[in-house]
Structure 1
Amino acid sequence: MTAAISTAIAATSIAAGTPERRGQAVAADRGRHVVPTISHPGWRIPPRTGGPATAEMVPSPYDRPSMITNLLVEHASLVFGAAVLISLACAAVGYLLLRWRRWRTLWLLAALALVPVAALTLVPATSQLDTVRCTVQFAVPTPGRVELVANVALFVPPVYFAALALRRPLPALATGAVLSAGIEALQALVPAIGRACDTNDWAMNTLGALVAAVLAFATTALAGRASGGGDAGSDGVGGPPDVGGQRGGVDISHGARRSAETE
């Protein structure tokens, strides 16, 4: 009778008590080989491995912060400043490459900037999710919301350099938004990679793509103004680099030779 009452008390404490009390109750039940009823979503009974079955705390991947989140929180004061510095560095490099018409270098930088995007969103995590799930929520990024700010900064470099290489910010913006949506859909539909789908991530990535598109538009306009507009294309900057006497796909060698013969 006493054992039955103590077992019922232990089960109640596990279902409604604090994690410390739950752990104490589990330790008390291990000697009686009793598996109490568990209602907390972060609790589960591990598979039997030969010994007595016991309940233990296994946090859900949705309930515990990731290692990256912990790192960002520990350096919260630096995240916003780092995001601003990344944007300014991209603007400086992009302006110079645009003036020098290094289109291949811009494409190369856009591709390299996608490496951290893939590493942080698609590389399988150590833990795997059991169900297909996506958290639907939207929040406003502030300097104190470090994970949101980091998601904004993550999409600035690839979209910015792609916009400069295309010389069309809007297609680059649309591509960035679609890419982020595809990543979140993949995270939701493939639980094996252990990544949690969140609409906040898509919204912040899209916001970062928007910042990059605006920055690319300003950089293109500034570069076109610096070139005087006489040598610029319709978008304010020159076309592709001169190859074989051609500029922007128009042959200029014949006109140059005819001017030389006239002189």
Structure 2
Amino acid sequence: MLATILVEFPWMTTVALVGLVVVGPLAGAWLAPRSRMTGVLLGLSTLVIALATLFPASGEPVVGCTIEWDFPTLGAVELMGNLVLFVPAVLLAGVLTQRPLGVLIAASGASLLVEVIQAFATVLGRSCSTNDWLSNTLGALLGTVLAAAALRIARPTARPQQV
């Protein structure tokens, strides 16, 4: 369903990506002291990932994985969608835990786990692809950079002592 929408409106992933890059660090900095709200938003973004990757799709069940190594480009709707999918969750988790690098590793591992589930749970009608893992991991890397920027913005600055 999501892929169908993205094919009809391929500009959506680019707009979402630009919006995340521009607004992400500022929103993350604002959310940094608001851990409860950040946690709720993280839960919602994780739910979106689960629905987008594990919800049964209509189609022939595929056994095994496709091994490809294509980098996302603005015209590659599915790859860009996979990239954008992980950015908000990693940004939020990085801000919440204040450990963006650890979140990057966990997110890449979670993406790999999703691909393994898609490979073996053929009843989902989903296909496993190394491209999906690569795009998700690149999105997680971007989310990590944005989280680090947000934490830097949120860090209180030291004021010079007045004598």
TM-score normalised by length of structure 2: 0.89
Within the alignment, does 1:204 sit opposite 2:140 as a pair? no
- Larger deviation, residues 72-81 vs 149-158: 72-81
Considering fraction of residues, name the structure with more helix. Answer: 2
Equivalent runs, 1:70-81 vs 2, <5 Å: 70-81=4-15
**Residue aligned with 1:188, SS:** helix
For these two proteins, the number of residue pairs brought into alignment is 159
- What is the CA distance between 1:194 and its match in structure 2? 0.5
Map residues 229-244 of structure 1 onto 2, 5 A cutoff: 229=158
1:93-108 matches, within 5 Å, as 93-98=27-32, 101-108=33-40
Q: Distance in 2 between matches of 1:89 and 1:76?
A: 21
Cα distance in structure 1, aligned partners of 2:97 and 2:113: 22
Distance 1:214 1:69 in 2: 26
2:25 touches 2:149 (CA, 8 Å); kept in 1? no
1:174 maps to what in 2?
105
**5+ residue gaps, structure 2:** none
Aligned: 1:135 with 2:66: yes
The answer for the alignment partner of 2:25 in structure 1 is 91
For residues 130-183 of structure 1, what are the alpha-carbon distances to aligned partners after superposition, in whole Å with 9 as ceiling and x for unaligned? x52110001121111111111111000111110011111111101100000000
Q: Which residue in 2 is equivalent to 1:149?
A: 80
* Percent identity (aligned): 37
SS in 2 for 1:125: coil
1:125 to 53, 57, 63: 57
C-alpha separation between the residues in 2 aligned to 1:71 and 1:116?
Answer: 15
* Matching residue's letter, 2:25: A
Residue by residue over 1:224-255, the C-alpha shift from the partner in whole angstroms, topping out at 9 and shown as x without a partner, is 1xx2247xxxxxxxxxxxxxxxxxxxxxxxxx
| Structure having the higher Rg | 1
CA contact (8 A) 1:155 1:205 kept: yes
Q: Conserved in 2, the CA contact under 8 Å of 1:169 and 1:217?
A: yes
Measured in 1, the distance between the counterparts of 2:64 and 2:31 equals 42
Deviation at 1:216, TM superposition (A): 0.8
Kindly indicate whether structure 1 or structure 2 has the higher relative contact order, using CA contacts under 8 Å at least 6 residues apart.
2
Q: Considering only aligned residues, what root-mean-square deviation do their CA atoms show, in Å? A: 1.6
- State whether residues 80 and 146 of structure 1, in contact with CA within 8 Å, keep that contact through their aligned partners in structure 2: no
- 3-state SS, counterpart of residue 102 of structure 2: helix
For structure 1, list consecutive stretches of 5 or more residues without a partner in the other structure: 1-66, 231-263
* TM-score, normalised with respect to structure 1: 0.57
